[in-house]
Amino acid sequence: MAEDLERRIVGVLELSWDEEGDLWFGALARSCEDFDAPSDVRVRGTSHSGGVRTLDLLVEGGAVSVLIFSDVLASNETVLVASGDWPEETRRRVAESVAHADALFRSGGTTHDWVAVIGAVDSNRTPMPALGLEGHVGGMRIYSSDVLQERPIMQDVPSMSAWSQSMCVPVIVSGTTKAISEHLAPRMVASDLRALCGMLSLAWGVTIDVIQAPSALNGHRVHVPEVLPWNSATTWTPDGDWRESVERLSVPAWLDREWPKVVGVRAAVRLRNGLSMYMEGRYVERRHPTLASVAYVATIEAVGAALIGVRKSQDLLKADLFKQAITLVLDQRDIDSLQAAYAARSRAVHDARLYGLEVEGGATSHMYGFASGQLPYAYGEMPILALAARRLLLRSFGEDGGAASAWW
């Protein structure tokens, strides 16, 4: 049996498929397009129970399957085995394709230069934050646009005549991404930008988001307008030089130091996912507080599990995990205040029950001017949930969340 399997091996890869399989699979698809010998190969991936995966390939003369065994014979080793007896020509063509894909995977592909714009959203902090000196994180260059923009904010209560605004000094981010294919590059850049926005949000205490999607950098400087075209009729211009009244921020050194924890195949998965989920909570909190609380609790559980050392979610009841995690970063009064919030979050997830300001149309009704009964939650437990998630993330990056305000 062992001799039969050895005879059918078409490739041995020095990688763990669970961690790097998707990237290698992309290299195989690219090699099928570029490599002359197996140019008629088509790739489709399927998963099977027991950890064995299958690649179905269309080659000249019909379909064949390759069984994928990962971390079985040795750690970080993947073995590709023909599912049956193939003609020698078929085996040669598939082996050539696998070898070419592995070489492409090891090279990292081709480089793609890009530029994007990020900035504070939904923020009226005084003094207004603005990036001072240029910074660098993970090979990306981060520098101020030196342009003041006004960005409208949707009111909590729907209205066609009222709005608020936040002032923002956009930040330009440029970088170079190495990707196996042009189709994969945008996804990698978007993932890097989201992680960067998350880490800057943690560091600066404001919500940072992408305000101009990344585009290929072809030697042209990105233009950041002072007045957004769709907002020109209502734009407000401050008196005097706004540069004299801003809070100049810097890119902390720990972002670059901790960057490998959230990007790449060796990233800490719980931390990376927790950071992304935390930012989703920040983005939707104003209009969808129930969903935001779900995001914050998920962040607390995922990041807390990593900090506590829980290997599998089954090792500790979720409610106990939540309590142990917040105990790391909150005092007893705040811990007690979140027990009801956790129960309400569970009802939202399992019983489809909303419990934030969205159930009453916002903070204050226009009909009779009554205040929502959900205000204590919106301005009490919700900020503490967000604070706990933020502090746990900072702790995971080796930083102290400190005695930050419950608003952050």
User: How sure is the predictor about 298, in pLDDT bands with cuts at 50, 70 and 90?
Assistant: very high
Q: Which residues pair with 215 in a beta bridge?
A: 115
Instruction: Please check whether residues 116 and 252 belong to one and the same domain.
Output: yes
Interhelix angle 269-284/382-396, rounded to 10 degrees, is 150
Higher pLDDT, 331 or 6: 331
**Closest among 364, 152, 137 to 253, alpha carbons compared:** 137
Share of the chain above pLDDT 90, in %: 33
User: How sure is the predictor about 266, in pLDDT bands with cuts at 50, 70 and 90?
Assistant: low
Region at 109 (left for phi over 0; alpha for psi -120 to 50; beta for the rest) = left
Number of structural domains in the chain: 3
3-state secondary structure of 21: helix
Judged against a pLDDT cut of 50, whether residue 265 lies above it is answered with yes
Find tokens 């917040």 and name the residue.
326
3-state secondary structure of 317: coil
| 281 backbone dihedrals φ, ψ, rounded to 5° | -60, -45
Q: Measuring CA to CA, how many Å separate 81 from each of 5, 93, 275? A: 7, 14, 38
CA angle 134, 140, 143 (to 5 degrees): 25
What's the domain range around 291? 265-407
| 349 backbone dihedrals φ, ψ, rounded to 5° | -75, -40
- The pLDDT score that the predictor gives to residue 115 is 95
Average per-residue pLDDT in the chain? 80
In whole angstroms, give the CA distance from residue 222 to residue 212. 10
Domain boundary among 55, 88, 108: 108
Domain boundary among 190, 221, 256: 256
In whole angstroms, give the CA distance from residue 266 to residue 139. 17
Residue 12 is given by DSSP the state E
pTM score of the predicted model? 0.78
Instruction: Please check whether residues 56 and 151 belong to one and the same domain.
Output: no
Domain boundary among 256, 287, 304: 256
Judge contact between 263 and 192, C-beta under 8 A: yes
Judge contact between 210 and 173, C-beta under 8 A: no
Judged against a pLDDT cut of 50, whether residue 408 lies above it is answered with no
Instruction: Please check whether residues 338 and 308 belong to one and the same domain.
Output: yes
- The pLDDT score that the predictor gives to residue 38 is 45
Q: What is the mean pLDDT of the segment spanning 16-42?
A: 66
Could you tell me the CATH number of the domain that includes residue 340? 1.20.120
**Closest among 244, 243, 226 to 235, alpha carbons compared:** 226
In whole angstroms, give the CA distance from residue 282 to residue 106. 37
Judge contact between 117 and 172, C-beta under 8 A: yes
**Closest among 171, 168, 149, 122 to 236, alpha carbons compared:** 149
Residues in CB range of 323: below 8 A, 6 or more apart:
335
pLDDT tens profile 107-118? 877 888 999 999
Count of C-beta atoms within a 10 Å radius of residue 111:
10
In whole angstroms, give the CA distance from residue 295 to residue 297. 6
Instruction: Please check whether residues 245 and 359 belong to one and the same domain.
Output: no
pLDDT tens profile 192-241? 999 999 999 999 999 999 999 999 887 667 889 888 877 666 556 666 67
| Lowest-confidence region among 122-131, 292-301, 316-325 | 122-131
Instruction: Please check whether residues 243 and 164 belong to one and the same domain.
Output: yes
Q: Where are the alpha helices (DSSP H) in 35-157?
A: 88-107
Instruction: Please check whether residues 148 and 76 belong to one and the same domain.
Output: no
Instruction: Please check whether residues 181 and 84 belong to one and the same domain.
Output: no
pLDDT tens profile 80-99? 888 777 788 877 878 888 88
Instruction: Please check whether residues 293 and 191 belong to one and the same domain.
Output: no
Region at 161 (left for phi over 0; alpha for psi -120 to 50; beta for the rest) = alpha
Instruction: Please check whether residues 273 and 367 belong to one and the same domain.
Output: yes
Q: What is the mean pLDDT of the segment spanning 370-380?
A: 55
Q: Where are the beta strands (DSSP E) in 180-308?
A: 208-216, 247-249
User: How sure is the predictor about 392, in pLDDT bands with cuts at 50, 70 and 90?
Assistant: very high
Instruction: Please check whether residues 23 and 149 belong to one and the same domain.
Output: no
Instruction: Please check whether residues 316 and 394 belong to one and the same domain.
Output: yes
Q: Which residues pair with 216 in a beta bridge?
A: 114
Instruction: Please check whether residues 139 and 246 belong to one and the same domain.
Output: yes
Q: What is the mean pLDDT of the segment spanning 388-392?
A: 97
In whole angstroms, give the CA distance from residue 200 to residue 72. 40
